Structure 1
Amino acid sequence: MDKFESMRIFTRIVELKSFTRAAEDLGYPKSTVTNAIKQMEARLRVRLLHRTTRQVTATLDGEAYYVRCARLLADLEETENVFSEAAANPGGKLRVDMHGPLGRHFVLPLLDQFCARYPNIELQIGMGDRLVDLVRENIDCVLRVGELRDSSMVARRVASLEQVTCASPAYLKLHGEPRTVEELARHRAVNFFSAQTGKFYPFEFKVGGAIREVALNGTVSLNNADAYIQCCRSGFGLIQLPRYSVAPLIAAGELCEVLADYRPNPSTVSVLYPHHRQLSPRVRVFVDWLASVFVAVG
């Protein structure tokens, strides 16, 4: 077995945390996978993996070796693709992660168009709000909303989403409609918190050309977008989110926009991918397609 194939086996074991699952994923007998790692560790004279009855994890040396292997394998595949028919007709598995509501509203309704155009690409799509590790989890690209903090990734802006603050008619009848940001002191909110940190996201309003953050008290806090909207409809308080997600409810009179004169800046929608994936034909065509999906959004 050549070194590159041994590296491929090693990286899948680290990613899947299992010899058995890696063997199944790559189509090898488990004995072949086990022997490949034994030979690799003997050649390098270091222990790469911790093995327990529950899972397999990388040692410190294994972590460092994994990062280098993943980069080398990606570079090898993408370099070959550039000089092959795959550049014109890309194929293979493309692992994507995207914000759930964003994907359901904009991407999934048009996904059949991408699949028809590139039938040889097999899509594996994760949809959630957690921040994924693209390199460690072997994900090719992610679609995210908001401020970008990871400068190690290539980022392509594809849209801006207008933000609105809403309440239900029942809530406004009981508590009145806030006309200024100062009046929010006597109002309540349905608060949204980060699944990663547990911290609440403050409301934002543009006052005199500057963004002002406001924290509101509330009875209910959630980390799910659908539940967030439902609690607002039930009269628990104000919410703030992209207009697209509540536009039909506003049009139907089930929710009302408030403080429209103080809307915050639009949220940026971006596609992120590792630097070493930017030459991949399948990543390139998917990113270009996503940009076309959002072109009407702005």
Structure 2
Amino acid sequence: MDRLQAMRVFTRIVELGSFTRAADDLNLPRATLTHTIKRLEERVGAHLLQRTTRRVRPTRDGEVYYNHCVRLLADLDAVEADFREAAVVPKGRLRIDLAASLARQVLVPALPDFLARYPQIELDIGTSDRFIDMVQEGVDCVLRAGDLPDSTMVGRRVASMSQATVASADYVRRHGLPQTLADLQDGHVTVNWASPTTRRTTPLEFMVGRRMRELVLPARVTVSGTEAYLACCEAGLGIAQFPRYRIGEALANGSLVELLPSTPPPAFPVTVLYQSQRQLPLRLRVFIDWVAGVLRDLP
């Protein structure tokens, strides 16, 4: 096995944390990977990997070597892609994970256009709002809404979406229609939203001019799923905040009522996350560009 292929084997073992997973991913016998790493360590004169009962991790020398490998392989891929791309048609399989509500209401209905435009791309779509380990789960990109935790992944912001504070028509009949933020603290309740990852609840947020104000109201129900959050609001269990694309029909038919439109929640970002690569695969690049276009064209 040549040096470049040995470097690719080494980086894949580090990224997947397992000889077995790397062998499956590269479609090579596990014994071949073991022999390749042994020869590679002899060539560089350093111990690159340490094995535990559960995982394979790079040594300190291995981390340094891994970073060099990633840069060198990315440069090589970029050079080859520059020569190929003019004649290349985007093709291959993409595994993606989308925020559930964005997938159902916006992106999946628009997919026929993408598949017609790129007939040689296949999509494997997951829908969730949980944290995704893209390396371990073999996911090419993740689309998420809202502020994101620190990540080693690369993020491209593709949209900024306006939101509204709402309650059901039944809730407004029972509790009244607040006219000011101070009114919210007089007998009003909320549906608490808890992060699926951290389980921390999020206060209601309002833009007062250019300043953002947080307000914590009492709540009897806490949810961490987007569908349950909307269902609880529609059932009259409290005030909630949603992106406008999500509740446009309910606002139009009067089942939900917008509250305090002069002090709306701040717009939230929509971001595509992917692994750090200097040269994105063409199929991934055209998908990200398509997502950005679909979200940009939303009312």
TM-score bucket (shorter structure): 0.7 to 0.9
Q: Secondary structure at the match of 2:262?
A: helix
Q: Secondary structure at the match of 1:111?
A: helix
1:249 matched residue in structure 2 = 250
Matched-pair contact (CA < 8 Å) for 1:140–1:277:
no
Aligned residues between the structures: 298
Q: Secondary structure at the match of 1:21?
A: helix
1:233 Cα deviation from its structure 2 partner = 2.1
TM-score (norm 2): 0.83
CA deviation map 1:115-134 (0-9, x unaligned): 33223334444543345566
Q: Structure 2 regions of 5+ residues with no counterpart? A: none
Q: Secondary structure at the match of 2:24?
A: helix
Say yes or no: does 1:206 pair with 2:191: no
Q: 1:290 to 1:250 in 2, by over 3 A?
A: same
Which range moved further: 215-224 or 66-75? Answer: 66-75
How do 1:62-211 and structure 2 match up within 5 A?
62-85=62-85, 88-130=88-130, 140-147=140-147, 156-185=156-185, 186-211=187-212
Query: In structure 2, how many angstroms separate the alpha carbons of the residues matched to 1:245 and 1:60?
Result: 48
Say yes or no: does 1:31 pair with 2:31: yes
1:220 Cα deviation from its structure 2 partner = 1.9
1:19 matched residue in structure 2 = 19
1:183 Cα deviation from its structure 2 partner = 1.3
Query: In structure 2, how many angstroms separate the alpha carbons of the residues matched to 1:108 and 1:237?
Result: 30
The percent of aligned pairs where both chains have the same amino acid is 49
1:243 Cα deviation from its structure 2 partner = 1.4
Query: In structure 1, how many angstroms separate the alpha carbons of the residues matched to 2:128 and 2:278?
Result: 22
1:215 matched residue in structure 2 = 216
Paired letter, 1:223: S
1:196 Cα deviation from its structure 2 partner = 3.5
Paired letter, 1:31: A
Query: In structure 1, how many angstroms separate the alpha carbons of the residues matched to 2:39 and 2:124?
Result: 32
Paired letter, 1:69: C
1:263 matched residue in structure 2 = 264
1:47 matched residue in structure 2 = 47
1:236 matched residue in structure 2 = 237
Q: 1:16 to 1:134 in 2, by over 3 A?
A: closer
CA deviation map 1:91-126 (0-9, x unaligned): 344454432322332222222332332233344445
Paired letter, 1:232: C
Which range moved further: 93-102 or 179-188? Answer: 93-102
Query: In structure 1, how many angstroms separate the alpha carbons of the residues matched to 2:191 and 2:118?
Result: 42
Q: 1:60 to 1:231 in 2, by over 3 A?
A: farther
